[in-house]
Amino acid sequence: MSSGHHSHGSYLESKGGFFANVLDWATTVDHKKIGVMYLFAILFMFFLGGVAALAVRIELLEPVRVKTTFTATGTEPVTQLLRADVAADIKNKDGTPAKDTLLTAGTRVQTHPAAKTVLGNELTSGTQVDVLDDAGKTVVQTATLKGSVSVTDPKTGAATASKITGQFFGSPDATAIAAGNNTYNRLFTLHGAIMVFMVIVPSVPASLGNFFLPLMLGAKDVAFPRLNLLSWYIYVTGSIFAVSSIVLGGVDTGWTFYTPYSTSTDADSIRVVFMILGAFILGFSSILTGLNFIVTVHKLRAPGMGWFDMPLFVWAVYSSGIIQVLATPVIGITLLLLVFERITHIGIFDPALGGDPVLYQHFFWFYSHPVVYVMILPGMGIITELIAVHSHKRIFGYRAIAFASLGIAGVSFIVWGHHMFTSMSEVASTIFSALTFLVAIPTAVKVFNWVGTLYKGSITINTPMLYALIFLFTFSIGGLTGLPLGTLSTDMHLHDTYFVVAHFHYVMMGGTIMAFIGGIHHWWPKMFGKMYNEKAAMLGAILVFIGFNVTFFTQFFLGVRGMPRRYASYVDEFQTLHIISTIGSFILLAGFLVHLSVFVASLVAGRKAPANPWGGLTFEWLADSPPEEHNFAHEPLCTHGPYDYDTTVPPHWDPKDYPIPAENLAAAGSH
């Protein structure tokens, strides 16, 4: 890193043997390498969290609430048969008693009485049958039974003419249910914690931000390169802590760690503490990243680059940096208190000891709400870049977007209470509801500006642009469905239901992740110097779009119809929608797999990327693809705005390919 020796090779250039390379990457202070390391770490965590999500979706394919169910396909009216309160010998197909220790002779089979009303109409299949023991009370079945079930009449002892082809499934007794639910709870906690703390929060800033923020500013590096590396190691340490809790048996607190549940569950185990400490440690990584970016933006802009000459991505990352610095320490002390509380049994949050669980929620959401904007703001920044570059159009309302970023960052600190409308005092709920709507204004302004930018542009549809449009679609839905949640009367119904789940997935996944993937495609040629297969990537994007909407739009319906979130099981009427949602999640998986293969193919056999494949005007397109070790051969000078497409030929582009109309230049002169 000494200023003495300059290497003019690409930053990806090999440093010798394998171990030399590993050592080089492990000790690098180059923001590009750190960005790439972050990128792969985050993608790995995304994979882990995704697996947990799929497991959750599979669990929700069917409700386990109905423990013993079989499909009756009798020839006789089953109604009569079952109503007669017969004793049944339940046998396997080969005639041996099925699980005879559990289902002894004399076990009564009784229809689900409510089914009687259905019986007259359509009891050909799908009748639910409870298997009761002699006391008429406990369900004793614990196994999955498949095969035919014969039902005998206890009076005559003869088998009735009717055969019921039965399929018993589910894990029927309460302990088994609890065990199953327990696994489910651990899975969704894992999914939530990984996706929030380890994927979405660091996703854009720590990977793409790290790589491109100094490039866009024309700087050689971030302000504190060694802190930057440290933040990556902290990230890895925190992730190891959090993920090691799975190895120890998993955590079932939910990613929100609400007290008193989180302070009392698994009281004898250290794993909850591990998960909490993991989140705590990850906070430091987040703080260091944000702090680094703020100082970089303040101090390391290229000569001639004023605040309003910065690309809007930088503005967005800068705004989210402010939130990271101001909000993260509060989650730090919260989690610290939680750990104290678990270990030494202090009672700040535990009502049994005089504390206040609602205080915990305030502590928690004071961080966790602003951090929602840490997640989405850089995503919005990416979208701004994508739309401007791929429309070759001056962004509409530059200052409005820049100030909207800052405005969102500011307002984010005074709206956290909308997560707590069902637990807050009425005065506070009213105030927070009113303030919550403030967030909608800068957000709406941004969306209008993006759509406005398309007007009279010169728009190419490729994967990044497709993702920008997908973002506009999904994020608009996510934003608009925030309205019923901010509205007090409707939130009382929708709070903690699948409506909320769908809403924040539309914002977090439909917003941040879509922008993230779009951004990766957009900057892929710059980062790795290779082009990717456009058609295949677009196929992936379409699959992701379809899968995403199928998965999550159904969940809006589920929520409005009253399906609470974090349920391992549910009442039957929700099953259809859950099945649709699960199907959607697999389409989503297919989309991601396509993307993965596109990336791998590009790295292995991609065509060499030009320095400026899309015709961008910001500084990163000035550098080589991939950039050399110190970014630029000569320090760039800011001579035009980041989006002056109508008057400036993009770097590395032939003016013949970009014939700027004379009237544009004339207008620019007068401007």
Partner 1 sequence: MSDRILFMLAEQDVFSKAWLRAPASTDVARDTDSMFMWLWWFCVVWFVFLMALMVYWVIKYRRRPGTVAPKSASHNTPLEVAWTIIPTLFLVYIFFRGFHGWIEKIVAPGDAIEMNLTGARWYWSIDYPNGAQSPASTRIGAKDIPVFYMPAERSVKLRMQSQDVMHAFYVPDFRIKQDLWPNRYSQMWFKAHAPDGTLKHPVVSNDAKDEVAKALSGVPYEDHWLFCAEYCGDEHSEMAGIIRVVPEDAFNRWLDAIKNGTGTPAEIGQAIWKLRCSSCHTVDGGKNTGPTWKNIWGHEAQMMTGKMIMVDENYVRESILNPQAQIVMGFQGQNMPSFAGVLNDKQITAVIEYIKTLSDMGTLGDPAHPAGMDAKVGTPGTETKPGEKPADKPQ
Partner 2 sequence: MSHASPAAFNELDPHDASHHGQHEHHAIVGPFQLRLVLVTLLFFTFATVAFAQIEVFVEGLIGGPLPWWVNVAGAMSIAVVKSLLVMAIFMQLRYDNPMNSIIMAFTFAALAIFIVFTGIDLLGRSQVDAYKAENIKAGGTDEIVSKKRDAFLAKMVDRYGAEEGKAKYEELDHEFNHAHEESAAAPEGNTPNLSRERVGLTGALLEVAPAKGEHAEHGAAHEGAEPGKKGEKTNPMGQESEGP
Partner 3 sequence: MTTLDSRDNRPLWQRYVHGHHWRTQAEEFDGAKLGFWLFLTTEVLLFGGIFCAYAIFRSLYPGAWKEGSSLLDWKIGGINTAVLLISSYTMAVSIYYIQVGKISRARLNLMFTILCGALFVTLKLLLEYTPKWTGWFFFMDPALGHHSIDAAAGNGLFGLFRHVEGYGGKRPGSLYEYGFGHDPHMPLWWSVYYVGTSIHALHVIIGMILIFRVWLKAGKGVYGPNYYTGVEIAGLYWHLVDLIWIFLFPLLYLIH
**95-134: contacts with partner 3 (CB under 8 A):** none
Residue 64 CB, shortest distance to partner 2, in Å, is 31
Task: Identify the residue among 194, 287, 338, 447 touching partner 1 (CB under 8 A).
Answer: 447
Residue 551 CB, shortest distance to partner 3, in Å, is 37
Residue 495 CB, shortest distance to partner 2, in Å, is 16
Binding track over 398-437 against partner 3, x by CB under 8 A: ----------------------------------------
**154 closest CA partner among 251, 84, 95:** 84
Residue 414 CB, shortest distance to partner 2, in Å, is 6
Instruction: State the DSSP H helix or E strand holding residue 166, giving kind and residue range, or none if neither.
Output: strand 159-168
Query: What letter would DSSP give residue 15?
Result: -
Q: Give the count of residues interacting with partner 1 (CB under 8 A).
A: 113
Task: Identify the residue among 400, 531, 587, 590 touching partner 1 (CB under 8 A).
Answer: 400
CA–CA separation, 511 and 471 (whole Å): 6
Query: What letter would DSSP give residue 4?
Result: S
What residue 139 binds from partner 2, partner 1, partner 3, none (CB within 5 to 8 A, per partner kind)? partner 1
What residue 267 binds from partner 3, partner 1, partner 2, none (CB within 5 to 8 A, per partner kind)? partner 3
Give the nearer residue to partner 2 in terms of CB position, either 225 or 321.
321
Residue 629, φ and ψ in degrees, nearest 5:
-60, -35
**550 closest CA partner among 583, 574, 576, 573:** 583
C-alpha dist (Å) from residue 497 to 122, 252, 500, 557, 563:
32, 18, 6, 10, 6
In the numeric block, which tokens belong to residue 596?
């993965």
In the numeric block, which tokens belong to residue 183?
């696994």
Give the nearer residue to partner 3 in terms of CB position, either 410 or 562.
410
Residues 160-179 that bind partner 1 (CB under 8 A): 170, 172-174, 177-179
The contacts of residue 162 (CB under 8 Å, 6+ apart) are 74, 75, 76, 78, 81, 151
Cβ atoms of 565 and 56 closer than 8 Å: no
Residues 358-397 that bind partner 3 (CB under 8 A): 359, 362-363
Residue 442 CB, shortest distance to partner 3, in Å, is 23
C-alpha dist (Å) from residue 603 to 403, 418, 462, 519, 659:
38, 45, 19, 17, 34
For the CA atoms of 526, 530, 535, 536, the dihedral, rounded to the nearest 10 degrees, stands at -110
Q: Quote the radius of gyration of the chain (alpha carbons, Å).
A: 29
Query: Counting contacts by CB under 8 A, is residue 497 touching partner 3?
Result: no
The contacts of residue 121 (CB under 8 Å, 6+ apart) are none
Task: Identify the residue among 37, 201, 223, 470 touching partner 3 (CB under 8 A).
Answer: 223
**70 closest CA partner among 143, 130, 138, 119:** 130
CA 393 distance to own-chain centroid: 31
**511 closest CA partner among 560, 550, 476:** 476
Residue 366 CB, shortest distance to partner 2, in Å, is 5
CA 300 distance to own-chain centroid: 32
CA–CA separation, 491 and 484 (whole Å): 6
What residue 344 binds from partner 3, partner 2, partner 1, none (CB within 5 to 8 A, per partner kind)? partner 3
Burial class (CB in 10 A: 0-12, 13-18, 19+), 597: middle
Query: Counting contacts by CB under 8 A, is residue 85 touching partner 1?
Result: no
What residue 295 binds from partner 3, partner 2, partner 1, none (CB within 5 to 8 A, per partner kind)? partner 3
Q: Is 150 helix (H, G, I), strand (E, B) or coil?
A: strand
Residues 318-377 that bind partner 1 (CB under 8 A): 351-352, 357-358
Residues 475-504 that bind partner 1 (CB under 8 A): 476-477, 480-481, 483-484, 486-493, 495-497
Q: Which stretch binds partner 1 (CB under 8 A): 5-13, 227-235, 309-317, 563-571?
A: 563-571
Q: Which stretch binds partner 3 (CB under 8 A): 155-163, 177-185, 349-357, 582-590?
A: 349-357
Residue 4 CB, shortest distance to partner 3, in Å, is 6
Chain position carrying tokens 């994967």: 463
Task: Identify the residue among 90, 193, 219, 277 touching partner 3 (CB under 8 A).
Answer: 219
Chain position carrying tokens 């989309």: 591
Which spans of this chain sit near partner 2 (rule: CB under 8 A)? 298-299, 301, 305-308, 318, 322, 326-327, 330, 351-354, 356, 358-359, 362-363, 366, 402-403, 406, 409-410, 413-414, 416-417, 420, 424-428, 431-432
Give the nearer residue to partner 1 in terms of CB position, either 23 or 451.
451
Query: Counting contacts by CB under 8 A, is residue 668 touching partner 1?
Result: yes
Give the nearer residue to partner 1 in terms of CB position, either 10 or 569.
569
Burial class (CB in 10 A: 0-12, 13-18, 19+), 480: middle
Residue 222 CB, shortest distance to partner 1, in Å, is 30
In the numeric block, which tokens belong to residue 110?
């009784």
Give the nearer residue to partner 3 in terms of CB position, either 117 or 344.
344
Query: Counting contacts by CB under 8 A, is residue 113 touching partner 1?
Result: yes
Give the nearer residue to partner 1 in terms of CB position, either 47 or 473.
473
Query: Counting contacts by CB under 8 A, is residue 491 touching partner 3?
Result: no
Task: Identify the residue among 87, 295, 590, 601 touching partner 3 (CB under 8 A).
Answer: 295
Task: Identify the residue among 123, 383, 469, 550 touching partner 1 (CB under 8 A).
Answer: 469
Binding track over 567-606 against partner 1, x by CB under 8 A: xxxxxxx---------------------------------
Query: Counting contacts by CB under 8 A, is residue 426 touching partner 1?
Result: yes
CA–CA separation, 422 and 407 (whole Å): 27
C-alpha dist (Å) from residue 283 to 42, 55, 197, 604:
15, 27, 8, 35
Query: Counting contacts by CB under 8 A, is residue 332 touching partner 3?
Result: yes
Strand partners, 628: 10, 631
In the numeric block, which tokens belong to residue 307?
């605040």
Give the nearer residue to partner 3 in terms of CB position, either 366 or 614.
366
Q: Which stretch binds partner 1 (CB under 8 A): 18-26, 47-55, 199-207, 447-455?
A: 447-455
Strand partners, 163: 150
Which amino acid is present at 109?
A: V
Burial class (CB in 10 A: 0-12, 13-18, 19+), 15: middle
Residues 242-271 that bind partner 3 (CB under 8 A): 263-264, 267
Residues 267-326 that bind partner 1 (CB under 8 A): none
Residues that bind partner 3 (CB under 8 A): 1-4, 214, 219-225, 227, 263-264, 267, 287, 291-292, 294-295, 298-300, 325-330, 332-334, 336-337, 340, 343-348, 350, 352-356, 359, 362-363, 630
